[in-house]
Amino acid sequence: MKPRGLHRELFSYHDWASDRVFALARPLDDAQLDQPVAMGFGTLRATLDHLCAAERLWLDRWEKKPWAPLPPLDPAAGVADLAGRFAHCAAEREAMLDKLGESAAEHLVEYRNTAGKAFTNPLGDLILHVTNHGVHHRAQALNMLRRVGVTTSNVDYLFFRLERPTVDLPAETVERLRKRGLAAAETRVEPARLDVATLRRYYEYGDWATQQIFAAAAQLGDMQLDQPFEMGLGTLRKTLLHIRDAEQWWFDNWTRGPESGFPNSPATTALAAAQELFAETAKRRREHMARLHDEDLQQVVSARPGGATVLACRMGESMLQLCCHGTHHRAQASNMLRQLGVTPSALDVVVWLRATAASA
Q: What is the pLDDT of residue 288?
A: 98
Instruction: Residue 68: count other Cβ atoms within 10 Å of its Cβ.
Output: 12
* End-to-end Cα, the chain, rounded Å: 39
Q: What is the pLDDT of residue 307?
A: 63
Residue pLDDT tens, the chain, 360 long: 567 899 999 999 999 999 999 999 999 999 999 999 999 999 999 999 999 999 999 999 999 998 878 778 888 899 999 999 999 999 999 999 999 998 899 999 999 988 889 999 999 999 999 999 999 999 999 999 999 999 998 899 999 998 899 998 777 777 777 777 777 777 889 999 999 999 999 999 999 999 999 999 999 999 999 999 999 999 999 999 999 999 999 999 999 988 767 888 999 999 999 999 999 999 999 999 999 999 999 999 988 876 666 788 999 999 999 999 999 999 999 999 999 999 999 999 999 999 998 887
Q: What is the pLDDT of residue 2?
A: 61
Instruction: Quote the CA–CA distance of 230 and 285 in Å, as a whole number.
Output: 31
Q: Taking the CA of residue 97 as centre, how many other CA atoms within 13 Å lie in the half-sphere pointing to its CB?
A: 21
Q: What is the pLDDT of residue 298?
A: 97
The H-assigned helical ranges of the chain are 6-25, 30-33, 44-62, 79-100, 123-147, 157-163, 171-179, 196-217, 222-225, 236-256, 271-290, 315-339, 349-359
Q: 6-147 with 191-359: one CATH topology?
A: yes
Instruction: Quote the CA–CA distance of 105 and 64 in Å, as a whole number.
Output: 16
The matching CATH number, chosen from 1.20.120.450, 3.40.50.10860, 1.10.10.10, 1.10.3290.10, for 191-359 is 1.20.120.450
Paired with 300 in beta bridges are: 314
DSSP, collapsed to helix, strand or coil, labels residue 204 as helix
Nearest Cα to Cα of residue 33 among 89, 85, 83, 87: 83
Q: What is the pLDDT of residue 260?
A: 67
Spell out the residues 6+ positions from residue 267 whose beta carbon is closer than 8 angstroms to its own: 226, 235, 237, 238, 241
Q: What is the pLDDT of residue 308?
A: 62
Q: Supply the Cα-derived Rg of the chain in whole angstroms.
A: 20
Instruction: For domain 6-147, give the CATH superfamily.
Output: dinb family like domain (1.20.120.450)
Instruction: Quote the CA–CA distance of 259 and 252 in Å, as a whole number.
Output: 9
Q: What is the pLDDT of residue 304?
A: 81
Nearest Cα to Cα of residue 57 among 112, 128, 136: 112
Ranges of each domain in the chain: 6-147, 191-359
pTM for this predicted structure:
0.95
Spell out the residues 6+ positions from residue 116 whose beta carbon is closer than 8 angstroms to its own: 67
Residue 172 has phi, psi (to 5 degrees) of -70, -30
Instruction: Quote the CA–CA distance of 50 and 217 in Å, as a whole number.
Output: 27
Q: What is the pLDDT of residue 309?
A: 66
